Amino acid sequence: MTDDQRFRLKGRLYPCIVPRENGEVHGKVLVGLTDDELENLDWVEGNEYERVKVEVIRKDNSEKMTVDTYPWINKNDPDIGGDWDFEEWKRVHMKKFIETFKEIMEFKRNPQKGRDDFQYVLREDPGNAPSS
């Protein structure tokens, strides 16, 4: 997938994709998403990512596709760490990530505060988030 690389983000439950020369990201392509489903992804990704179109090459048949992806906006973020490991993420963070994703979608359906209130929700320990 393009010239990007996926990295850990210190203290967060999710990785980031950052453009890097000769970088490569392996992943899944979701097809057939509705506008509402894309909006949900935009909500979860938040303001620290931007949705952009990239060209990918399918591993199974070498077909080129243009897809939306969410690279990390701050390419020089000091919280960017080493390579991200999907198997480790499944063991350590997946359960909490899914629970938090559900909370965000519930909030989206029944908003009581601003979207920025979820800025720290997908961190490993949201209790250590700065207070407003």
For the chain, which domains are there? 4-128 (3.10.490.10)
Q: Is 21 a catalytic residue?
A: no
Could you tell me if 132 and 113 are in contact, meaning their C-beta atoms sit under 8 angstroms apart? no
Question: Catalytic: which of 24, 37, 45, 106?
Answer: 45
Q: Which residue has the tokens 């998403």?
A: 33
User: Dihedral angle at the C-alpha atoms of 118, 119, 123, 125, nearest 10 degrees?
Assistant: -80
Q: Which residue has the tokens 């179109």?
A: 53
Q: What is the pTM of this model?
A: 0.72
Calpha distance 4→23 (Å, rounded): 5
One pLDDT digit (tens) per residue for the chain, 132 residues: 345 688 998 888 889 998 777 778 888 898 899 998 898 888 888 888 999 998 889 889 999 999 999 999 998 899 998 888 899 999 998 999 898 888 888 888 877 655 555 555 566 665 544 444
